[in-house]
Amino acid sequence: MAAQATVSSAPPRRRRFNRDRLTAILMILPSLIFIAIFVYGFIAQTGYTSLTDSNALQQLSRLPANFIGFSNYNDMINGTLNERFRTDMVNTVFFTVLFIVTCLVLGIGLAILLDQKVKGESIFRTIFLFPMALSFVVTGVVWKWLFNPTSGLNALPTLIGLPRGEFRWFISQESTLNFFWQDVPTILGFAVAAILVLAAVYFWIKKRSMVAAFVMAGGLLLVALVTFGDPNSLITLERPEQKGFNLALIALVVAAAWQMSGYTMAMYLAGLRGIPEELREAARVDGASEFGVYLRVVLPLLAPITLSAMIILGHISLKIFDLAYTMGGGDNLFIDMPGLNMYFLTFRGQDFARGATVAMVMLVMVAFVIVPYLITQLRGEKSL
Amino acid sequence: MKFRKLAALGVTAAAALGIFGAVTAQDALSGDLEIFSWWTGGGEAAGLEALIASFTETNPGVNIINSAVAGGSGVNARAVLTTRMLGGDPPDTFQVHAGAELNDLWVRAGLMEPLNDIFEANGWMEQYPQGLLDLISDDAGNIYSVPVNIHRSNVLWYVPGNLEEWGVTVPANWSEFVDTTCPALQAAGVTPLAVGENWTQAHLWESVALAELGVDGYNGLWSGATSWTSPEAVGVWETFGQVLACSNDDRNALSWQDASRQVADGEAAFNIMGDWAAGYFLVDLALEPGTGFSWAASPGTDGTFMMLSDTFGLPVGAPNATNVRAWLTFLGSAEAQDIFNPLKGSLPANTTADIGNAELYNAYFQDAYADWTGNAIVGSQAHGAVASPAFTNGFSGIIASYGADGDASSAAANTATLALQTGIGG
């Protein structure tokens, strides 16, 4: 905005600029109004609904919803009945991390392989990209058959005389990395502190700025608080509730990564093609091995692509619904996701308020992924 | 002179209009009739089509709009219906389960028209069983919907030849099943009980609860007379856990058809499913009733018929109420029930239906009908007869958690909280 203002103060072009500007405003006004109503207006309404006790009976009886503050949120975190929500939170974190890592690794691997000027590259590219054209529903159904514990992938080894696979895939009830829901504040506290400390070290090495000292102090303070305070008392749920990484999520990750890694590959491939050959040549002339070229020249240049890919994959995995629904039939808690819970609370349970609460939590999680990205984007535009 | 002429003209016109009006009301209905349901596939969709065809034959002027919504065993349809009712755009008539699903939502919100006049004019007050009428009426005696069919929930399915081969008999109660039948079958390498995904587990739970608590105890759960945390109610969860331990461990991967099929294929000995499974054994798997597959009341529930029923009602503000009344009058008749139920594979709700006709109703339904008219009748929880949608949704979460941790006392306590929160037994 500031940059535009200085331009518009140039006197000779003032009138013409104003007309342009008027046209521009008129052009974007309709979409602004519609987005304001149909996106932000409804987000606000969902947010308000989550603070009430709205449900189908009340609405159909034309009764007003009562404002009950944040008690729905408290109920989600501490209420004995909302174990499903808490399981979903843990599931979605594990799923998101695994899904993103798998897609990035597979995507960059495939892209580098395709970048070796292989014959019939476009055919391979199409093959790898093809799963993305499918709906997650199709992927879910197909992989549900493939993962059938008695007849699917598990039966493959028997073809060559090996014993049948034992892993139960999406119906596995095993879990590892177990912890209790009551430990979550401690775990979150240490996680945030670790991020702060790492950020401080980064700032210190890169810029030697004083910011580093503040961030480091904040991180250490948090560590002290978590260690000597009693963060677990934040959770008032009495019954110890075990959570963990459900191995059944592996099935979900495989199916989702099968679908999206081709897309990640396409992004990386575009990035690789954007790197001038001279840069690689220069590195080779300087005596770098082919591996070294990728490690020290190509990968750092692909960092922005990785960021974009993480954002896109991240918001897909946080909002995932159809894949888990078709694979788990809706009520398999070992691969359950918040989107399913929201749908069932709202439409099967007809509890609009709690459904809206889950929706708002999902929005906040996605915002954690999207907003930093938007900020860096906006900053980038300004500096241009 | 002039006045007389005018008056005569007016009288003639009025008479003509009156006759014409009577004609439209009774003989020549016209306009639209939108029928909202979740019957989109298999025998139930065929049954609905046949009903519509028969209705259109006698009322050629009515344009029937079949707005069936697929998916989620009715969840999607109910979501669309709720949205339309909230928006003041009700369909002319819609499918709803008899019992809590009808009474605790639509009737309580004052959105249904009483239909007593139709019931009285057609003699249905005597033709429908009192237990069923109670499920579709409010306390003041207003009746709000017309039942089309009856399903039984507490049925145990098995293949007689297989049981002989494995040397087991149909268990009379759950302790016999858990202590005797289950170990014998496991030793023979057979899954004692085939169970499918979450809702079929809830379906199994209600059969276990009915067996353990008895009719009064089970009904007490919904009226408030039986405490959810009483030792008996906790005992239901414990028995349920023992029964689940006798079942296949890939439950969450199976639909109800998959589970029933395991019995037909000889992989499992028993399956508890509603009597829509009869149609699956009979039509899809082409088995003979009595030899290819057989049935009994689920263990410990002999003499009790746990029912659910699909009904159609008239919402307040329906655009074509006259047509709906004609449709509902047709729907409740013995004739319509004999068209629909053989196709859907369910019992007629109207007792004057031609149940003795073996061409229409197979051996299973002959047998079930005797139970329907002679047994104690209770409503199904998993299918919306005794509990509201809010309870049913929360309960599926409790079933899923119990499947993971097997903690009976926590499941019982959570169900008590849920019942309190959703106004069950209050």
For A92-142, the pLDDT digits (tens) are 999 999 999 999 999 999 999 998 888 888 898 899 989 988 999 999 999
Nearest-neighbour CA in chain A from B29: distance (Å): 31
Classify the C-alpha dihedral B245-B248-B249-B251 as positive or negative: negative
Q: What is the pLDDT of residue A6?
A: 47
The distance from CA B364 to its chain's CA centroid, rounded to whole angstroms, is 17
Assess if residue B91 is contained within a domain.
yes
Q: Do B363 and B353 belong together in one domain? A: yes
For residues A138 and A250, give the distance between their C-alpha atoms in angstroms, rounded to a whole number.
Answer: 18
Nearest to B401 among A149, A330, A333 (CB): A333
Inter-chain CB proximity A350 and B105 less than 8 Å: yes
**Distance of alpha carbon B291 from alpha carbon A189, whole angstroms:** 65
Same domain, B163 and B188: yes
E runs forming strands in B239-358: 268-272, 294-297, 304-308, 310-313, 347-348
Residue A274 and residue A111: Cα distance in Å, rounded? 13
If we measure between CA atoms, which residue out of B163, B247, B243 comes closest to residue B211? B243
Q: Name which of B52, B58, B64 is nearest B28 in CA terms.
A: B58
Domain identity same for B229 and B321: no
What count of CB pairs under 8 Å joins A to B?
114
Q: Which of A8-17, A107-116, A248-257 has the lowest mean pLDDT?
A: A8-17
pLDDT band at A167 (very low <50, low <70, confident <90, very high): confident
Q: In this complex, which of A80, A144, A344 lies closest to B413 when CB atoms are compared?
A: A80
Distance, CA of A203 to CA of B408 (rounded, Å): 53
Tokens encoding A243: 């959570």
pLDDT attached to residue B231: 94
ipTM entry: 0.83
Q: Output the furthest CA–CA distance in chain B (Å, rounded).
A: 104
Residue A41 to chain B, least CA–CA distance (Å):
18
| pLDDT for position A8 | 47
**Cβ proximity of A117 and A129 under 8 Å:** no
Residue A210 has pLDDT above 80, yes or no: no
Residues of chain B below pLDDT 50: 1-2, 9-25
On chain B, the residues whose CB falls within 8 A of the CB of A252 are: none
**Residues A326, A138: Cα–Cα separation, whole Å:** 8
In this prediction, residues A55-75 reach a mean pLDDT of: 91
Higher pLDDT, B85 or A1: B85
Q: Are A305 and A271 in contact (CB under 8 A)?
A: yes
Per-residue pLDDT, averaged over A145-150, amounts to 86
Q: Give the closest-approach CA distance of A87 to chain B in angstroms.
A: 10
% pLDDT > 70, chain A: 95
The domain boundary, picked from B369, B394, B409, lies at: B369
CB count in 10 Å sphere of residue B349: 27
Q: Which residues of A touch B76 (CB under 8 A)?
A: 347
Total structural domains within chain B? 2
Chain B residues in contact with chain A using a Cβ-Cβ cutoff of 8 Å: 72, 75-76, 78-79, 82, 85-86, 104-106, 108-111, 197-199, 249-253, 255, 389-390, 392-394, 396-401, 403-405, 410, 413-414, 417-418, 421
* Residue B159 belongs to a domain: yes
Mean pLDDT along residues A246-270: 93
| Closest residue of chain A to B396, computed from CA coordinates | A331
Among the listed ranges A50-59, A174-183, A371-380, B39-48, which one has the minimum average pLDDT value? Answer: A371-380
Model confidence at A86: pLDDT above 80: yes
* More confidently predicted of A42 and B373: A42
CATH of the domain at B394: 3.40.190.10
| Token pair belonging to B246 | 């006798």
Q: Would you state the pLDDT for residue A214?
A: 82
Q: How far apart are CA A168 and CA B267, in angstroms?
A: 18
pLDDT at B15: 46
- Which chain B residue shows the shortest CA-CA distance from A347? B79
Helix ranges (H only) for B38-166 are 42-58, 75-86, 100-101, 116-121, 124-127, 130-135, 160-166
Q: Are residues B287 and B408 in the same domain?
A: yes
CB contact under 8 A, B197 and A329: yes
pLDDT for A155 equals 86
Residues B55 and B133 in one domain: yes
What does the mean pLDDT of chain A come to?
A: 87
B196 plus B174 within the same structural domain = yes
Q: Residue B16: what pLDDT?
A: 45
> Taking a C-beta distance cutoff of 8 angstroms, is the pair B156, B296 a contact?
yes
CATH number of A71-146+175-355: 1.10.3720.10
Tokens of residue B80, six digits = 């669309």
- Are the C-beta atoms of B129 and B296 separated by less than 8 Å? no
Q: What integer pLDDT is reported at residue B192 of this predicted model?
A: 96
| Residue range of the domain that includes B410 | 155-307+378-421
Residues of A with CB under 8 A from a CB of B: 55-57, 59-61, 80-81, 83-84, 144, 148-150, 168, 170-171, 173, 239, 242, 328-334, 336, 344-351
Per DSSP, the three-state class of B264 is helix
Chain A nearest CA to B314, separation (Å): 16
| Structural tokens at position B142 | 């207003």
Confidence at A381, pLDDT banded by 50, 70, 90: low
- Using CB atoms, which residue from B76, B198, B405 is nearest to A331? B198
- Contact assignment for B393 to A171 by CB distance below 8 Å: no
Mark yes or no for CB contact A348/B86 under 8 Å.
no
- DSSP H/E element including B31: strand B31-37
Using a CB-CB cut-off of 8 Å, the residues of chain B touching A345 are 393
B232 shares a domain with B200: yes
With a CB cutoff of 8 Å and minimum separation 6, the contacts of A16 are none
Within A41-117, residue ranges assigned H as helices are 42-49, 56-60, 71-78, 83-114
Average pLDDT over residues A345-364: 93
The two structure tokens encoding residue B177: 């099943």
Work out whether the CA dihedral B68, B74, B77, B78 comes out positive or negative: positive
Taking the C-alpha atoms of residue B197 and residue B211, their distance in angstroms, rounded to an integer, is: 22
Q: DSSP characters for B211-232?
A: HHHHHHHHHHHHHTSS-TTSHH
**A1: three-class secondary structure by DSSP:** coil
Q: Is residue B295 domain-shared with residue B325, that is, in the same domain?
A: no
In which residue ranges of chain A is CATH 1.10.3720.10 found?
A: 71-146+175-355
Structural domain includes residue B11: no
Q: Are A170 and A335 in contact (CB under 8 A)?
A: yes
Axis-axis angle for helices B231-245, B198-223 (nearest 10): 160
Nearest chain B residue (CA) to A148:
B253
Q: Residue B208 domain-assigned? A: yes
Looking only at the bridges linking them, the beta strands covering B93-97 and B31-37 are parallel
B208 with B337, same domain: the answer is no
Quick check: A271 pLDDT over 80? yes
Alpha-carbon gap: A336 to the closest alpha carbon of chain B (Å) = 11
